[in-house]
Amino acid sequence: MTPAARVQTAIEILDDYLAGGAVEPLLTGWARRSRYAGSGDRAAVRDHVFSALRNLRSFAALGGTMSGRALMLGALRAAQQDPEALFTGARHAPPPLSGQERAGGRPPAPGAEELDLPDWLLPLMERSLGAQAASVARILKQRAPVHLRVNTLLADREAAERLLRDEGILTTPHPAADTALEVHEGARRIRGTRAYREGLVELQDGASQAAVEALPLRDGMRVLDFCAGGGGKTLAMGARARVALFAHDADAARMRDLPERARRARLEVDLLAPGRAGEHGPFDLVLCDVPCSGSGAWRRSPEGKWMLTPERLAELGDIQATILREAASLTAPDGVLAYMTCSVLDCENSAQADRFLNENSGWRRLSCRSWSLLDGTDGFFLAQFDRKTTD
């Protein structure tokens, strides 16, 4: 495909997204229908679409309106590229610019539009992040780095780096965690490498790794990942100590890939049916990696930024409180309850931890920590609790 044809495809996918479609199925559907598109084309179209979603408001301002065509026009103007070079009307290219398009567009207004946030969210970000809110919002407009977690059961970080380098994947250690590598070249080929297929590395952001590193994992513990999903944290915990690992999720289908991932990582994980974790408890450590706004990871899932509403955020807050209460009841008397989010919003982080302590008087906070997008990872939060001792 020519660069112009890639832009035209992105325009069509963005129009379908703006009409209410979900972006991943739209991209997958296009790739399936378009046998002529090679892996480079698919990657380029995906990059155009995701960049437009991260910068939706500012690109629409620069392009003159909210449409696929205006978004790509805005993207080119933001990158100071001449749109006329691609909007040529040649075969598969976008039709030439109209006079109105040529004259239209304006710089994004300072504030939420320029920072590519919904209006209602900017004050919340400012309350949560103070003077860093604008810098964090600007990082959310960019593409996320790719991080790997080295499975230290199978290789140390240097050996994993060497193996990856042999297959053309260039990495450097990331300071967030002892196990973290940042990928600089070959990110799209990782799943095909021997190191990945044989379980030596997993894709996982550095902050998630660091949060697991901060858990008090010791050999012999019984550990429950209460919101296990695909099992990223389950596997990271299993690699840190010889623990009995249990995974649970309210939606069992979310754990579909976990057995295969565990096999690759040479770990054993007991999958528990929804609502049946109590039959296997209590646990020395219960981790709740709760459903949240995902605001710390909006570079990877930028649609989330535009789907979130104040009502949904309030609903998530109640879900988080309910999960914490349930998970507390599964924690052994001298056990630890860990709460994680990939959010930068205080209402899901410290305020949620405070709410738990207010509503559950027998517990105290052991630690509380957040990771910032400014340090090159996703935004992430961890609070740990244990029971107050009565003497």
Ligand X SMILES: C[S@@+](CC[C@H](N)C(=O)[O-])C[C@H]1O[C@@H](n2cnc3c(N)ncnc32)[C@H](O)[C@@H]1O
Any idea which residues carry the catalytic annotation?
342
Q: Which residues bind ligand X (CB under 6 A)?
A: 226-233, 249-251, 254, 289, 291, 319, 323
CB of 300 to ligand X, least distance (A): 12
Residue with smaller CB distance to ligand X, 114 or 378? 378
* DSSP secondary structure string for all residues of 103-166: H---PPPTTHHHHT--TTHHHHHHHHHGGGHHHHHHHHTSPPPEEEEE-TTT--HHHHHHHHHH
- Is 249 flagged in the annotation as binding? yes
β 283-289/222-225 pair status: parallel
Token pair of 319 as six digits? 């879900």
For residues 123 and 179, what is the distance between their CA atoms, to the nearest angstrom?
A: 36
In eight-state DSSP terms, residue 220 is: T
CB of 254 to ligand X, least distance (A): 4
CB of 285 to ligand X, least distance (A): 14
Residue with smaller CB distance to ligand X, 223 or 228? 228
- Is 289 flagged in the annotation as binding? yes
Residue with smaller CB distance to ligand X, 78 or 201? 201
For residue 149, the cross-strand partners are 180, 202
For residues 283 and 337, what is the distance between their CA atoms, to the nearest angstrom?
A: 9
Say if residues 49 and 10 touch (Cβ distance below 8 Å).
Answer: yes
With a CB cutoff of 8 Å and minimum separation 6, the contacts of 315 are none
Residue with smaller CB distance to ligand X, 83 or 229? 229
CB of 221 to ligand X, least distance (A): 18
Q: Which residues are annotated as a binding site for S-adenosyl-L-methionine?
A: 249, 289
